[in-house]
Amino acid sequence: MRQMPWFGMDIGGTLVKLVYFEPTDNTPDDEKNETETVKIIRHYLKSRSAYGKTGKRDVHLQMECSIKNRRGILHFVRFPTSEMPVFISLARSKGIAQLASTVCATGGGAYKFEKQFSEELNLTLKKFDELASLIHGIHFIERYNPQECFYLQNPMEDEKFRKIPFDFSDSYPFLVVNIGSGVSILAVYSQDKYKRVSGTSLGGGTFVGLCCLLTGCETFEDAIALASSGDSNKVDKLVRDIYGGDYPKFGLTGDTIACSFGHMISKEKRDKVSKADLARATLVTITNNIGSIARMCAVNEGIERVVFTGNFLRVNQISMRLLAYAMDFWSGGTLKALFLEHEGYFGAVGCLLELV
Ligand SMILES: Nc1ncnc2c1ncn2[C@@H]1O[C@H](COP(=O)(O)OP(=O)(O)OP(=O)(O)O)[C@@H](O)[C@H]1O
Ligand SMILES: CC(C)(CO)[C@@H](O)C(=O)NCCC(=O)O
- Of the candidates 104, 176, 103, 117, the one whose C-alpha atom is nearest the C-alpha of residue 142 is 176
What was the pLDDT predicted at 3? 62
133 residue type, one letter: S
Report the pLDDT value the prediction gives residue 169, as an integer from 0 to 100.
87
| pLDDT at residue 179 in the model | 99
Q: Are 346 and 240 in contact (CB under 8 A)?
A: no
Instruction: Kindly report the protein residue whose alpha carbon is nearest to atom 5 of ligand 1.
Output: 220
Point out the ligand nearest to the CA of residue 290: 2
- pLDDT score at 2: 47
> Is 129:106 a contact under the CB 8 Å cutoff?
yes
Which of 312, 315, 343 is the pocket-test mutation for ligand 1 (most atoms within 8 Å of CB)? 312
Residue 354 is among the residues annotated as catalytic for this protein: no
- pTM assigned to the model: 0.97
For a ligand 1 pocket test, name from 181, 314, 319 the mutation site with the most ligand atoms within 8 angstroms of its C-beta.
Answer: 181
Residue 184 CA to ligand 2 centre (angstroms): 6
Residues with Cβ within 8 Å of 41's Cβ and at least 6 positions away in sequence, in order, are 5, 94, 96
Q: Measuring from atom 2 of ligand 2, which residue has the nearest CA?
A: 182
SS3 call for 274 = coil
pLDDT at 98: 85
- Per-residue pLDDT of 229-271, as tens digits, reads 999 999 999 999 999 999 999 999 999 999 999 999 999 999 9
Residue among 201, 139, 164, 173 at smallest CA distance from 342: 139
Residues 6+ apart with CB under 8 A from 144: 63, 64, 65
Which domains does the chain possess? 6-133+345-355 (3.30.420.510), 149-235+273-340 (3.30.420.40)
Residues ≥6 apart with Cβ < 8 Å to 51: 57, 77, 79, 90
pLDDT of residue 1: 42
The complex's ipTM works out to 0.99
Greatest CA separation found in the chain?
A: 77
DSSP one-letter string for 310-328 = SGGGTT-HHHHHHHHHHHH
Q: Which of 14, 129, 130, 183 to mutate to test the pocket of ligand 2 (most atoms within 8 A of CB)?
A: 183
The per-residue pLDDT for 356 is 65
Dist. CA 48 → ligand 2 center (Å): 33
Ligand 2 atom closest to Cα of 200? 14
Assess whether the C-beta atom of 15 lies below 6 angstroms from ligand 1: yes
> Would you write out the chain's pLDDT as a tens digit for each of its 356 residues?
446 679 999 999 999 999 999 999 988 888 888 888 888 989 999 999 999 999 999 999 999 999 989 999 999 999 999 999 999 999 999 888 888 788 999 999 999 999 999 999 999 999 999 999 999 999 999 999 999 999 999 999 999 999 999 999 889 999 999 999 999 999 999 999 999 999 999 999 999 999 999 999 999 999 999 999 999 999 999 999 999 999 999 999 999 999 999 999 999 999 999 999 999 999 999 999 999 999 999 999 999 999 999 999 999 999 999 999 999 999 999 999 999 999 999 999 999 999 86
Which residues contact residue 12 at a Cβ distance below 8 angstroms, ignoring those fewer than 6 apart? 81, 107, 108, 109, 130, 180, 181, 347
Catalytic residue among 130, 142, 148, 343: 130
The CA distance from 120 to 215, in Å, is 39
Nearest C-alpha neighbor of 7 from the set 143, 135, 123: 123
Question: Mutual orientation of helices 317-330 and 220-228 as an angle, nearest 10°?
Answer: 60
Pocket of ligand 2 (CB under 6 A): 12-13, 108, 130, 180-184, 199-201
Distance separating alpha carbons of residues 136 and 157, to the nearest angstrom: 34
Helix 204-215 / helix 220-228 crossing angle, nearest 10 deg: 70
CB under 8 Å to 295, separation ≥6 — which residues?
306, 326, 327, 330, 331, 335
Report the alpha-carbon distance of residue 113 to residue 121 in Å, rounded. Answer: 11
Residue bearing the CA closest to ligand 2, atom 7? 182
Run of H or E including 260: none
Contacts of 28 (CB under 8 A, 6+ apart): none
* DSSP structure string for 162-177: EEEE---TT--SEEEE
